[in-house]
């Protein structure tokens, strides 16, 4: 990782040119304390492939973030709390997205090259995942604090190996009539409407399972071991 500071921009440019895997970290808390900094135009011309934004909720001063919305070289974007209104059609190379969702963003479902997707607070009007039907190359999917009621929409995502469902209070799998055979690592925490029978039915090939809930029977571990033939790891505690 390399931390962005305006006075070291030449060194940052050289480092990014030599290290394609480098992550550029922008800490807004530090920039808010710099009275001379007001926009990101200084980043123009840099080979930015991986970007991490932090502490962007700082409100001490207004910083023009428009350039951050137009970096078409990005392969990885990690922005979990900015609420920046990205138009993802401007990021055609994006493979990894970790994002605090806002309804102001556009064209998230235009992607078919995403490999990893993590969304915080995803609240579509449809309350399902039909917008994800184009994510056919997705290997890892994490959904946290969403309003979704079903995972319908993932029927064509046949490559997902890791699936995390956390604090999705309305999510129910009873109406899901397809099987996700590719999922090997499954993490479910505080999704109270998901029952053990549907886990078995929809994810038969799971090898590693976390099933954390406040309402668990004493024999839950035995149940999963007996019904998931490939299960090697089981945890019922999660992050509680």
Nearest to 186, CA basis, from 204, 168, 167: 204
Express each pLDDT in 56-108 by its tens digit.
665 545 788 899 999 999 999 999 988 889 999 999 999 999 999 999 999 99
86 occurs within a structural domain: yes
Tell me the residue range of the domain where 84 lies: 2-235
67 occurs within a structural domain: yes
Helix (H, G, I), strand (E, B) or coil at 32: helix
**Does the pLDDT at position 240 exceed 90?**
no
**pLDDT at residue number 149:** 98
Long-range pairs, 90-95, Cβ under 8 A, ≥24: none
219 occurs within a structural domain: yes
Express each pLDDT in 6-61 by its tens digit.
999 999 999 999 999 999 999 988 888 888 888 999 999 899 999 999 876 655 45
Token digits of residue 112: 């078919």
DSSP H/E element including 224:
helix 220-227
Express each pLDDT in 170-207 by its tens digit.
999 999 999 999 999 999 999 999 999 999 999 999 99
Q: What angle do CA 160, 69, 60 make, to 5 degrees?
A: 115
In whole angstroms, what is the distance from residue 109 CA to residue 124 CA? 12
In whole angstroms, what is the distance from residue 169 CA to residue 185 CA? 21
116 occurs within a structural domain: yes
Residue 86 neighbours by CB under 8 Å, 6+ apart: 69, 77, 99, 105, 106
What's the pTM value of the predicted model, to 2 decimals?
0.92
Domain of 160: which CATH number?
3.80.10.10
Residue 154: pLDDT band (50, 70, 90) is very high
In whole angstroms, what is the distance from residue 52 CA to residue 64 CA? 17
In whole angstroms, what is the distance from residue 42 CA to residue 57 CA? 21
136 occurs within a structural domain: yes
**pLDDT at residue number 218:** 72
240 occurs within a structural domain: no
27 occurs within a structural domain: yes
Q: For the chain, first and last CA: distance in Å?
A: 30
157 occurs within a structural domain: yes
**pLDDT at residue number 57:** 61
Cα–Cα distances (Å) from 50 to 5, 21, 146, 180, in that order, read 16, 7, 26, 30
Tally of domains within the chain: 1
**Does the pLDDT at position 239 exceed 70?**
no
């Amino acid at each position: 990782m390399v931390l962005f500071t305006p006075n070291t921009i030449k060194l940052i440019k050289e480092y990014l040119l030599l290290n394609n895997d480098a992550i550029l970290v922008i800490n807004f808390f530090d920039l808010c304390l710099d009275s001379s900094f007001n926009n990101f135009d200084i980043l123009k011309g840099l080979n930015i492939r991986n970007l991490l934004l932090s502490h962007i909720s700082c409100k001490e001063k207004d910083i023009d973030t428009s350039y951050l919305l137009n970096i078409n070289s990005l392969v990885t974007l990690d922005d979990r709390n900015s609420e920046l209104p990205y138009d993802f059609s401007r990021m055609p190379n994006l493979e990894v997205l970790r994002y605090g969702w806002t309804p102001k963003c556009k064209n998230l479902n235009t992607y078919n090259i995403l490999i990893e997707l993590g969304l915080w607070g995803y609240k579509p009007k449809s309350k399902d995942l039909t917008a994800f039907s184009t994510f056919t190359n997705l290997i890892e999917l994490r959904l946290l604090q969403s309003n979704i009621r079903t995972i319908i929409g993932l029927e064509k995502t046949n490559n997902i190996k890791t699936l995390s469902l956390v604090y999705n209070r309305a999510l129910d799998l009873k109406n899901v009539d397809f099987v996700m055979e590719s999922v090997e690592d499954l993490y479910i925490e505080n999704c109270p409407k998901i029952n053990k029978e549907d886990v078995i039915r929809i994810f038969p090939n799971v090898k590693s399972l976390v099933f954390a809930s406040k309402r668990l029977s004493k024999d839950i571990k035995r149940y999963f071991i007996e019904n998931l033939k490939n299960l090697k790891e089981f945890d019922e505690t999660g992050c509680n």
